Amino acid sequence: MADRKAVTTTGSTLRLRIAQLIWLAAVVCALFLAVGALLVALDANLDNALVRFVLDVAGALDLDVFSRRNGVFTFDGSDAATKNALTNWGLAAIAYLVVGRVLWRIVRP
């Protein structure tokens, strides 16, 4: 009986750790998208390696569904690039957080 309880406790701990990793990954993805949108809005220096890295990662995380250039929403006119980044990458960040939280609730014990 004690062995069964130990296995259950180990399994619960493992599921909890996996759920925490899923949530952490979702938060990190949302953070990259939000910071990327902020960098576009602030007209950050694109020659800076850190700025380029954040924008490249955010561009990969948008999965071409929430792309800055051809996303859910597309704006024209002045500040279109800023509006596209804030809207589409903002939606992508929210989507990552919602999906991450749902998966967290499913996986945790």
CB-CB contact of 96 with 30 (8 Å): yes
**Res 1 pLDDT > 60:** no
Instruction: Report pTM.
Output: 0.87
Q: How far apart are CA 30 and CA 70, in angstroms?
A: 19
Average pLDDT over residues 17-42: 97
Written as one letter, the residue type at 107 is: V
16 Cβ partners below 8 Å, 6+ apart? 108, 109
> What tens digit of pLDDT does each residue of 54-97 get?
999 999 999 999 998 889 999 999 999 999 999 999 999 999 99
- Angstrom distance (rounded) from CA 49 to CA 56: 10
pLDDT for 8: 67
45, containing H or E segment: none
Residue 44 DSSP label: -
pLDDT the model gives residue 9: 80
What would the mean pLDDT of 97-102 be, rounded to a whole number? 98
CA gap 40, 4 in Å, rounded: 54
Give the model's pLDDT for residue 58. 97
Return the residue matching tokens 């024209």.
76
